[in-house]
């Protein structure tokens, strides 16, 4: 199965996402903020990244832009997973290079469908 990097500064959100992803049979990597997420993405080259937006150091929009502009990581689909539910946030996130946008609280079925759509069969 796939290796999925989960980037979130909330331990409870990280655990919840990890539980869903592992239940689907995928391996998880984690990072606590955007800067660490960029570093882990460059080092581990995961198959997909679940990225929170509101985080210290480097926010999810900035981290997504960094990942999507780097030749080594640009191919990795980034899914923004956030409480920011305004249409302008979604448009901005997609402009930064995100491939999908999922709002919190997470609906397990929605996240599963998004992963299925973005991960190679």
Q: Token pair for residue 26?
A: 């995928």
- Per domain, the residue ranges of the chain are 3-115
Q: How confident is the model at residue 69 (pLDDT cuts 50, 70, 90)?
A: very high
Q: Token pair for residue 21?
A: 């992803």
Q: Is the pLDDT of residue 103 over 80?
A: yes
pLDDT per residue over 11-68, tens digit each?
Answer: 999 999 999 999 999 999 999 999 999 999 999 999 999 999 999 999 999 999 999 9
CATH code of the region 3-115: 3.40.50.2300
Residues 64-76 have a mean pLDDT of: 98
Residues 72, 75, 77, 83, CA torsion sign:
positive
SS3 1: coil
pLDDT mean across residues, the chain: 96
- When mean pLDDT is compared across 27-31, 69-73, 101-105, 117-121, the lowest value belongs to 117-121
Helices (H) and strands (E) in the chain, counts: 5, 5
Q: List strand residue ranges (DSSP E) for the chain, in order.
A: 3-7, 27-31, 48-51, 78-82, 100-103
Give which of 35, 33, 27 is closest to 119, Cα–Cα: 27
Q: pLDDT value at position 120?
A: 80
Q: Token pair for residue 22?
A: 């592992």
Q: Please state, for a pLDDT cut of 90, what percent of the chain lies above it.
A: 97
């Amino acid at each position: 199965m796939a290796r999925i990097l989960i980037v979130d500064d909330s331990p409870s959100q990280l655990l919840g996402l990890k539980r869903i992803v592992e239940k689907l049979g995928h391996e998880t990597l984690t990072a606590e903020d955007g800067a660490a997420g960029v570093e882990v993405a460059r080092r581990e080259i995961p198959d997909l990244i679940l990225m929170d937006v509101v985080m210290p150091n480097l926010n999810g929009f900035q981290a997504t832009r960094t990942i999507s502009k780097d030749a080594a990581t640009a191919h990795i689909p980034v899914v923004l997973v956030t409480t920011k539910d305004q249409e302008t946030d979604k448009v901005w996130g997609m402009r930064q290079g995100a491939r999908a946008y999922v709002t919190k609280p997470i609906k397990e079925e929605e996240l599963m469908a998004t992963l299925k759509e973005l991960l190679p069969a």
